[in-house]
Chain A
């Protein structure tokens, strides 16, 4: 490698570093934060109940369950809001079913292959590395150069699906502002749940619209963008959001979990959904 025939320094052991700051804190916080979300969202996805609140005429659908492609009539049939009705009869009895399990792979895949999360969980879960300038547990390394992590390049396809989800969740947020009275007529209104679901779609939108791949697709892939005013503006907007991508990622992750929790608590009668007007 070098013409002077010098050798590289010896590889450091796991955790070995001269850093004097609390370098372990960031990966620990990321580990705990992501683990907490994974545990809660998995639990919530398997519940298959308490995801649609219609008390007081409200129409709050948990984002973990939106869109409802098939409903389980044994659990929930009052509103019949599934796109294609009840789950098909051919669904195997041994296979767990909830509406969330049909759709959560998409936002989950989007976050799993996200450039920000990749860097974060490689550090927190794989210690690859634990943090900058800290020794690693493994000597061999393939990175995203070959299988399995080369599959991370599928991120743009998850982006396409995530953009559709933003449209659907926006519609859900809009629906959450319409309340049915006793006669079944809908009136425009605002409940705390409406605000929760609206903030949810704003945060998810900020996260999705700041995606590195979207930045590439709307303008980054061209070296000359001056003759493309629409692309140029889109590139600038995505870049603006992308600068705070980590912040959007965490805020939207927390809030989508909280939105499900809010709807769940209202459904269970633990919390009362206050109407503002």
Chain B
């Protein structure tokens, strides 16, 4: 067991400060374990949101030494414990208290996305037939646990506060999961361009870097969506081609 110093953000709303706590840590512990120890022994009023402790619920998102991470999946052995470990709430969302932020923006953004709209069933019993090759691409997006670390690190939200006209990388993944699905017949391209702010993304790839599920957000979701927008709005050749050979389906 070793003594480690943690700098934990305390406060509500716009105010706040770093409080230092020293706690004993042992082999196999993650940051959330240490936070729980601090909560149990030194700061019973410390607010922290958590649930599964297995990296699947996406509740314990925070910023550890400045990088958005899941507290339950960040082993202390992966950090430099000779220096104080900084634990603070996500910066792209309003602070409720201590390490808890209000992530309702993401659910409001999700409501802007047109829902999945499948084509008519392939069989009389109301079922569809899909080839694995076709559905493979969107299966990656289904891994999203909605921890919103990708939206937290996105500078369009955390530094420029474009919450009104930008739905964020987490919701681009959601939109891509629908838009690229082989059964889907809905058109979301105009929404992505006009009201959901896809053009704000300048491909920093920070969202991909912090995703705990290792979803290749930028390369596999955002850039393909950007290219579909280019097809529709910025490429006269493609538009001309579509006049002579219109797509019967997506």
Contacts and interface: CB of A to CB of B under 8 A. Distances in A.
A binds B: yes
B20 interface: no
Given A123-B204, A133-B153, A115 B223 contact: yes
A7 B68 CA distance: 20
A6 B13 contact: yes
Contacts of A222: 250
Interface string B48-69: 0000000000000001011110
B215 interface: no
A42 B139 CA distance: 45
Contacts of B30: none
Nearest to A126: B202
Nearest to A136: B159
Interface of A: 1-4, 6-12, 17-21, 115, 118-119, 122-123, 128-129, 132-133, 135-136, 139-146, 149-150, 153-154, 156, 212-213, 215-216, 220-226, 232, 242-243
18 contacts: A2-B94, A8-B163, A11-B161, A18-B65, A21-B65, A118-B202, A122-B202, A123-B204, A132-B209, A132-B210, A144-B201, A144-B202, A146-B199, A154-B234, A156-B235, A221-B228, A223-B250, A224-B182
Measured as residues with beta carbon below 8 angstroms from the partner, the interface class of chain B is: 35 or more
Given A7-B94, A123-B204, A221 B227 contact: yes
B14 A7 contact: yes
A20 B91 contact: no
A135 B102 contact: no
Contacts of B67: 19, 132-133
A154 B235 CA distance: 8
Contact of A145 (B13, B199, B235): B199
B80 to A, nearest CB: 7
Given A6-B102, A212-B219, A226-B133, A18 B63 contact: yes
Contact of A122 (B204, B223, B231): B204
B37 interface: no
Given A129-B155, A144-B201, A221 B94 contact: no
A138 to B, nearest CB: 9
B134 A225 contact: yes
B94 A128 contact: no
A14 to B, nearest CB: 10
B94 A20 contact: no
A127 B65 CA distance: 21
Nearest to B179: A223
Nearest to A1: B163
B88 to A, nearest CB: 6
Given A6-B95, A150-B199, 10 more contacts: A132-B210, A143-B202, A144-B202, A153-B235, A212-B223, A215-B224, A221-B231, A223-B180, A223-B249, A225-B133
B162 interface: yes
Interface SS, A side: loop
Nearest to B183: A223
Interface string B147-172: 00000010110111111100000000
Contacts of B182: 223-224
B67 to A, nearest CB: 6
Contacts of B184: 223
Nearest to A212: B223
Nearest to A232: B133
Q: Which of A6, A115, A122 counts the most chain B CB atoms within 10 A?
A: A6
B93 A4 contact: no
B5 interface: no
A123 B209 CA distance: 15
Interface string B197-215: 1011111111001100000
B113 interface: no
B94 A4 contact: yes
Contacts of A8: 92-94, 161, 163
A6 B235 contact: no
B17 interface: no
Contacts of A139: 160
B104 interface: yes
Interface string B17-60: 00000000000000000000000000000000000000000000
